[in-house]
Amino acid sequence: MKIEETYLLKGRRILVAACGSIAAVKTPLLISSLIKSGAEVRCVVTPSAAQLVSPLALATLSRNRCYQDKDQWDPNEPKPLHIELAEWAEIVVIAPLSASTLSRWTKGLAEGLLASVLLAAEVPVIAAAAMNTGMWRNSFIQNNWKLLQRNPNILPLVPSAGLLACDRIGEGRMVEIDLIQLAITSGIIQKEKHGKLIKDWDGLTLIATAGPTEEALDPARVFTNRSSGMMGVVLAQAAKLRGAKVELVHGPLNLPSALLEGLSSHAVTNAEQMRKILERLQSSANAIAMAAAVADIRKVGGSAEKKLSKVNFLQSLGNTFEPVPDLLAELVQKKPIGQVLLGFSALTGNDNELLLQGKAKKVTKGCDLLMANPIDRPGQGFGEQPNGGFLLGPDETVRPLRTTSKLDLAHQLLDAMLLEMPSIIP
Ligand code: CTP
């Protein structure tokens, strides 16, 4: 499943590097995915990576040469190769980053082609670590990792936990390819806008809600809607990539689980469960983005205990529904000073109708920002589709949001939320 529309990576020059970790067997999948998205890819492998994954496979998939240490001083190259590659790339991705390359890099050692490229590169670098749990927890490695985290132009992706090739169950697995590609796309969006990576959410906490909620009607039937959860999850990941502490509260999602990797997630089924978690978390947040499509109604008195036949079920519907409590309106009532609340409204109609309904909705809800989101336009809205609409702000300000990828939109919404935090912006 591709999570980003291809145009953001089209023609982008991406240098993919693989180090000596068994996760290098997944590097071809990343390259293949980037090529399908229209990117131009070149590869570098360290000597150990070349034993784990065939440089020929990487060259074939990338439609380019795969460079190794022996090529570094190739007299046929116009410049020393490490300089040529560092200047060619718009973004560098190390997937996987091994303990050994991490240590060489953070010590500033130009030993080998990749280590030299990393020292010479002045573009954003995304580094997805992968190693044995003991190695990952080693204090020298952790100190080196902190150095990466402190560097504003490096985006380190912490390994996830799972069964490792050494049979250990623990931290050390390289994060999934989908997430690495999301981080690359996010890096490209930021580079386009600021010329570099920006971690402007550092020190801030965002609560994002995502997906539909479900209200049980009986043991078999539920009332819900078609939200996939993509907008809220992508918003949460984008905020995390910008340095935020993120709490994701989500209903049943229709997304690859890889997209949730690294997030502090709270899975719920119905609105009441979502409400309880939001109540507990609200005071800790600088901003809340209510991207969840909370189900509108539920059965008075809760789900029926016994499943009814179709005919009896239909007859039982009668007047037995009530509206689900409006969680966003409740958050507005209890909001601490300075907290920014962003709501979403799924609307249909032309732009004028959209604005009219959106403005009315913003007044009813009382949130600081509201995205009026058309869901009746071809190729836009649910799932992986691009999204756009209008962002309604304080004092009746209206900002058109051109139709773009959900990740690009997420960055724009994060920018807008930051602007509503006056104490944060100088
Ligand atoms: N929301 C909520 N609690 C609800 C319903 C919605 O917190 N019970 C939040 C959603 O997360 C979203 C916004 O309020 O941020 C959407 O409000 P809603 O009234 O559902 O707007 P529309 O999508 O425009 O729905 P409708 O047209 O049915 O009024």
Please write the tens of the pLDDT for every residue from 332-363.
Answer: 999 999 999 999 999 989 999 999 999 999 99
Query: pTM of this prediction?
Result: 0.93
When mean pLDDT is compared over 278-282, 304-308, 316-320, the highest value belongs to: 278-282
Q: Is residue 136 scored above 70 in pLDDT?
A: yes
Mean pLDDT, residues 220-241: 95
Mean pLDDT, residues 373-391: 80
According to the model, what pLDDT value does residue 134 have?
96
Q: What is the pLDDT of residues 331-340, one digit of tens each?
A: 999 999 999 9
Alpha helices (runs of H) in 304-349, residue ranges in sequence order: 310-317, 327-334
Q: What's the CATH fold of domain 205-420?
A: Rossmann fold (3.40.50)
CA of 375 to the centre of ligand 1 (A): 14
Q: Is 294 in the pocket of ligand 1 (CB under 6 A)?
A: yes
Tell me how far apart the alpha carbons of residues 258 and 262 are, in angstroms, rounded to a whole number: 9
Q: Is residue 424 scored above 60 in pLDDT?
A: no
Q: Is 326 in the pocket of ligand 1 (CB under 6 A)?
A: yes
CA of 82 to the centre of ligand 1 (A): 53
Residue with CA at minimum distance from ligand 1 atom 18: 345
**What positions carry a catalytic annotation?**
166
According to the model, what pLDDT value does residue 319 have?
66
Mean pLDDT, residues 166-178: 94
Segment among 254-263, 324-333, 377-386 with least mean pLDDT = 377-386
According to the model, what pLDDT value does residue 181 have?
96
Q: Is 327 in the pocket of ligand 1 (CB under 6 A)?
A: yes
pLDDT band (50, 70, 90) for residue 310: confident
Mean pLDDT, residues 74-79: 86
Neighbours of 358 (CB within 10 A): 23
Residue 147 half-sphere exposure toward CB, CA atoms < 13 A: 13
According to the model, what pLDDT value does residue 1 have?
40
Tell me how far apart the alpha carbons of residues 86 and 84 are, in angstroms, rounded to a whole number: 6
Which atom of ligand 1 lies nearest, measured to the CA of 347?
24
pLDDT band (50, 70, 90) for residue 302: confident
According to the model, what pLDDT value does residue 383 have?
65
CA 125 to chain CA mean position, Å: 17
pLDDT band (50, 70, 90) for residue 251: very high
Which of 348, 361, 370, 417 is the best mutation target for the ligand 1 pocket, counting ligand atoms within 8 Å of the beta carbon and taking the most?
A: 361
Which of 328, 342, 370 is the best mutation target for the ligand 1 pocket, counting ligand atoms within 8 Å of the beta carbon and taking the most?
A: 328
CA of 297 to the centre of ligand 1 (A): 11
Whether the Cβ atoms of residue 213 and residue 173 lie closer than 8 Å to each other: no
Of the two residues 89 and 381, the one the predictor is more confident about is 89
Residues with Cβ within 8 Å of residue 412, at least 6 apart in sequence: 391, 401
According to the model, what pLDDT value does residue 382 have?
66
CA 350 to chain CA mean position, Å: 30
Do the domains spanning 6-194 and 205-420 agree at the CATH topology level?
Answer: yes
Which atom of ligand 1 lies nearest, measured to the CA of 370?
15
According to the model, what pLDDT value does residue 426 have?
45
- ∠ CA 407-236-8, nearest 5°, is 15
**Please, what is the average pLDDT of the chain?**
93
Q: Is residue 187 scored above 60 in pLDDT?
A: yes
Q: Is residue 105 scored above 80 in pLDDT?
A: yes
Whether the Cβ atoms of residue 218 and residue 236 lie closer than 8 Å to each other: no
Q: Is residue 423 scored above 70 in pLDDT?
A: no
Provide the percentage of residues in the chain whose pLDDT is more than 70.
96
According to the model, what pLDDT value does residue 422 have?
64
CA of 214 to the centre of ligand 1 (A): 14
Instruction: State whether CATH 3.40.50.2300 applies to domain 6-194.
Output: no
- Could you tell me the residue ranges of all domains in the chain? 6-194, 205-420
